[in-house]
Amino acid sequence: MPTQITLAKGLNMGLRKAMENDPKVLIMGEDVGKLGGVFRVTDGLQKDFGEDRVLDTPLAESGIVGTAIGLALRGYRPVVEIQFDGFVYPAFDQIVSQLAKMHMRSLGHVKLPVTIRIPYGGGIGAVEHHSESPEAYFAHTAGLKVVSCSNPVDAYWMIQQSIACDDPVIFFEPKRRYWDKAELDESATPHPLFAARVVRPGGDVTLVAYGPMVKVCLDAAAAAEEENRSLEVIDLRSLSPLDVDAVCRSVERTGRLVVVHEAPVFLGMGAEIAARVTERCFYSLEAPVLRVGGFHTPYPPSRLEEDYLPDLDRVLDAVDRSLAY
């Protein structure tokens, strides 16, 4: 029987399922135990699984990730929560210099099944360090898998698939979507973790997004339909590896592509996607690949974030410019 859940509840249920299925799964982070996390994603898990499996840690992100690496080397599957996106930087050295490299450094003999959950993005009225989009740093780093859910159903399945993965996974959670709702059927077959998905078919322009921007693109597609424009929306879901095949299949039909993300456009995921699609689909393109994203500035004060974040109007403006060629 399908049940209605929020994205945060989907994560909570997925974490619970993973802990029930594997006693080696541990959760670590600041306030994840007694408080249940600042967004309540781990609510009730310490009560049900105990303080040995849901650990409240000091405010020391480098130490949290370093400890998780040690636990993974001893056969555990740690799930680390970084409380806010901007707090991950103290752990950057552990992630990039150690976690990402150990598998290759050991000639494949060592597996590092560590999942690092990072609430990211803006839209909740928070300031810098609490509203950032650092995904490109990690997608650029070989040895890491990087994914982002955009809806409650994917949250439920993708967190379990990430924990089951033998490679380190950076799991980005769109915090402004924590309260979005959807129907979950736990008997359904989940979509592959590292595959993109067409969430709205269309024939005129392809919109590619991930995380919080998928809903913005779906809203834009619905608005464009009123003007008899058919926009196809692709949810990337995985940023590394990147499902370029799914994007190219769509672009070869529509001839036009707009990439949308919250992170600054400069050297962001859109730049990589634009390059790949241009290399593979050059003779199918009717217009240059366009990008819609954040500006190349530090994240602004909350009263200005609506001017900073990509919205429906900016997406539709890019669609207009693409169709004008």
Q: What is the CATH number of the domain that holds 277?
A: 3.40.50.920
- Look at residues 158, 184, 210 and tell me which one is the last residue of a structural domain: 184
Which residue from 247, 268, 267, 269 is spatially nearest to 256, judged by alpha carbons?
Answer: 247
Q: What percent of the chain has pLDDT over 90?
A: 94
What burial letters (b/e) apply to 272-286, b meaning 16+ CB within 10 Å?
Answer: bbbeebeeebeeebe
The average confidence (pLDDT) of the chain is: 96
The strand ranges marked E within 57-160 are 77-81, 115-120, 145-148
- Look at residues 163, 184, 205 and tell me which one is the last residue of a structural domain: 184
In a domain, 189, yes or no: no
- Look at residues 184, 210, 239 and tell me which one is the last residue of a structural domain: 184
Q: What is the pLDDT of residue 25?
A: 98
The answer to whether residue 35 scores a pLDDT higher than 80 is: yes
Q: Counting beta carbons within 10 angstroms of the beta carbon of residue 137, is it exposed (0 to 12), middle (13 to 18) or buried (19 or more)?
A: middle
* 3-class SS of residue 173: strand
Query: What is the pTM for the complete model shown?
Result: 0.97
In a domain, 190, yes or no: no
Same domain as 215, residue 143 = no
Same domain as 123, residue 202 = no
In a domain, 192, yes or no: no
Per the listing, tokens 């499902």 go with: 243
Q: How many helices (H) and strands (E) does the chain have?
A: 12, 14
The answer to whether residue 156 scores a pLDDT higher than 90 is: yes
> pLDDT digits over 111-150, tens only?
999 999 999 999 888 888 899 999 999 999 999 999 999 9
**Do residues 57 and 29 lie in contact, with contact meaning Cβ atoms separated by under 8 Å?**
yes
Same domain as 146, residue 28 = yes
What burial letters (b/e) apply to 233-253, b meaning 16+ CB within 10 Å?
Answer: bbbbbbbbebbbebbbebbee
Same domain as 267, residue 295 = yes
Among the options 109, 130, 140, 296, which is catalytic? 130
Tell me how many domains the chain contains. 2
d(CA 47, CA 102): 34
Whether 261 sits among the annotated catalytic residues: the reply is no
> pLDDT digits over 257-297, tens only?
999 999 999 999 999 999 999 999 999 999 999 999 999 99
The CATH number that applies at residue 142 is 3.40.50.970
Same domain as 206, residue 173 = no
Q: Which domain holds residue 58?
A: 3-184
In a domain, 191, yes or no: no
In a domain, 218, yes or no: yes
The answer to whether residue 312 scores a pLDDT higher than 90 is: yes
In a domain, 92, yes or no: yes
Same domain as 229, residue 163 = no
